[in-house]
């Protein structure tokens, strides 16, 4: 999640909060509905992510369209009206990434297909479980909690920077605040949502994973020489800016759940 300069953070907070509330409301609605509603939302977000990724890579517009069309194939298979979130869809994502890499002669663009497609498949997989609503909601909630905790702890406490060469605004205090907020969120889901305790306790570690995704996206923007990945979300930048933590966390949670199921 991109952060404004410290001098203007308070003035920008109301707009950020309003847009954030709207985004959360849309996400919660789709999660509760599941099925087609969640598939449509995740597919739209994945395609927007692919679009912004291609723009950061500064590729030809035709190649950007090519990558989005290629990604739309596995996204279509992820539909509950088709195969749904299974290993076949993962294979199609890998195949689409390989096709884009070869056709566009751009490894970066091929990586973008995986970057946008895997989180969408993971979130749909989580929602498809027996306790899917709790799992999917918890996955998003810990990312939101990490962002909020890191934002306020970093602003109020300050201190040493986390990785100033990549993201000058992020601090170790912010990371600690994000981990604490994520852990409290996980324990709340354990208490009120019957989330397994092991998964709840992993929330703090997943907060680190979310911050890692944030830093990775910051590095992409720095390499491209831009502040935000896009302008579609006022106060938040682009879709990549908003979902940078979800990208690594959703697949990680899917692996944890799959491992727990197999054991």
Task: List, for residues 70-95, the tens digit of each pLDDT value.
Answer: 999 999 999 999 989 988 999 999 99
Rounded CA separation 208/249 (Å): 9
Share of the chain above pLDDT 70, in %: 94
| pLDDT of the residue at 170 | 87
Global pTM value = 0.90
pLDDT band at 5; cut points 50, 70, 90: very low
Q: Give the residue extent of every domain in the chain.
A: 34-128, 131-263
Q: Which pLDDT does position 217 carry in this prediction?
A: 93
């Amino acid at each position: 999640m991109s952060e404004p300069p410290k001098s203007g953070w308070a003035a920008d907070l109301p707009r950020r909060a309003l847009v954030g509330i709207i985004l959360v409301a849309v996400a919660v609605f789709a999660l509760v509905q599941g099925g087609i509603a969640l598939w449509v939302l995740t597919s739209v977000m994945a395609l927007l992510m692919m679009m912004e990724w291609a723009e950061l890579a500064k590729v030809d517009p035709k190649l950007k369209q090519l990558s989005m069309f290629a990604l739309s194939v596995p996204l279509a298979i992820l539909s509950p009206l088709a195969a749904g979130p299974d290993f076949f869809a993962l294979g199609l994502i890998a195949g689409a990434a390989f096709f884009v890499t070869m056709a566009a002669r751009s490894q970066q663009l091929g990586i973008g297909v995986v970057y946008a497609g895997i989180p969408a498949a993971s979130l749909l997989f989580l929602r498809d479980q027996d306790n899917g609503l709790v799992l999917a909601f918890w996955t998003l909630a810990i990312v939101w909690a990490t962002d909020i905790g890191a934002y306020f702890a970093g602003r109020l406490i300050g201190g040493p920077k986390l990785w100033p060469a990549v993201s000058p605004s992020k601090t170790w205090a912010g990371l600690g605040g994000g981990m604490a907020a994520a852990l409290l969120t996980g324990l709340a889901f354990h208490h009120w949502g019957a989330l397994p305790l092991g998964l709840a306790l992993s929330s703090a570690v997943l907060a680190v994973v979310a911050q890692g995704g944030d830093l990775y996206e910051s590095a992409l923007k720095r390499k491209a020489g831009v502040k935000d990945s896009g302008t579609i979300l006022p106060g938040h930048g682009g879709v990549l800016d908003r979902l940078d933590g979800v990208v690594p966390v959703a697949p990680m949670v899917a692996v944890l759940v799959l491992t727990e199921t197999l054991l």
